[in-house]
């Protein structure tokens, strides 16, 4: 369906694979909270996704394992807003942020040497510190 490596995560439409459920939010809000189901839970089955490649699925399962249950469902909830629609938008936004982060490749660290000036400065402060400590010692004759 998609050429996975060429299309960015934010440009893919995962909406057909989302499963939403609502419940009553906790916290303050009085009667409104007790009557209205504003908490939104988004479930996305990583293993069953037709949009993600096998490599992407494995990467997501590894990097987001704290957000994924036994059924390989990525679960995101939101109850910050009083509106169910706004909470739904927040969960979708969180989903794309998490997926983008999980699939982002980390740059390889290029080891570098400290400059001569930095080494000299470090040794000077080390020497001053040692001298300060030695002056505090009791001298025996």
Report pTM. Answer: 0.68
Domains of the chain plus CATH, in order, are: 9-103 (3.30.160.20)
Q: Which residues of 76-103 are buried (b: 16+ CB within 10 A; e: fewer)?
A: bbbbebeebeebbebbbeebeebbeebb
**How confident is the model at residue 42, as a pLDDT?**
92
**How confident is the model at residue 127, as a pLDDT?**
96
DSSP string over 69-127: -TT-EEEEEE-SSS-HHHHHHHHHHHHHHHHHHHHPPPPPP---PPPHHHHHHHHHHHH
List the pLDDT tens digit at each of the 141 positions of the chain.
444 556 677 678 888 888 898 888 776 666 766 778 888 999 999 888 888 888 888 988 999 888 889 998 999 999 888 888 999 999 999 999 999 898 888 889 899 999 999 999 999 999 999 999 988 887 776
**How confident is the model at residue 114, as a pLDDT?**
93
Distances (CA, A) of 124 to 113, 115, 136: 18, 14, 19
Rounded distance, CA 113 to CA 100, Å? Answer: 33
Q: Which residues pair with 21 in a beta bridge?
A: 41
**How confident is the model at residue 2, as a pLDDT?**
44
**How confident is the model at residue 27, as a pLDDT?**
67
């Amino acid at each position: 369906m998609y050429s996975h490596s060429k299309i960015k995560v934010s440009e893919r439409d995962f909406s057909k694979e989302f499963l939403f459920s609502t419940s009553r939010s906790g916290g303050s809000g009085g009667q409104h909270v007790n009557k209205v189901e504003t908490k939104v839970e988004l479930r996305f089955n990583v293993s069953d996704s037709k949009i993600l490649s096998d490599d992407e699925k494995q990467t997501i399962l590894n990097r987001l394992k704290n957000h994924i249950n036994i059924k390989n469902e990525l679960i995101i909830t939101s109850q910050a807003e009083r509106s169910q629609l706004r909470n739904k938008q927040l969960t979708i936004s969180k989903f794309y942020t998490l997926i983008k982060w999980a699939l982002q490749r980390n740059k390889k660290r290029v080891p570098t040497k400290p400059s001569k000036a930095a080494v000299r400065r470090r040794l000077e402060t080390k020497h001053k510190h040692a001298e300060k400590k030695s002056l505090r010692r009791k001298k025996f004759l």
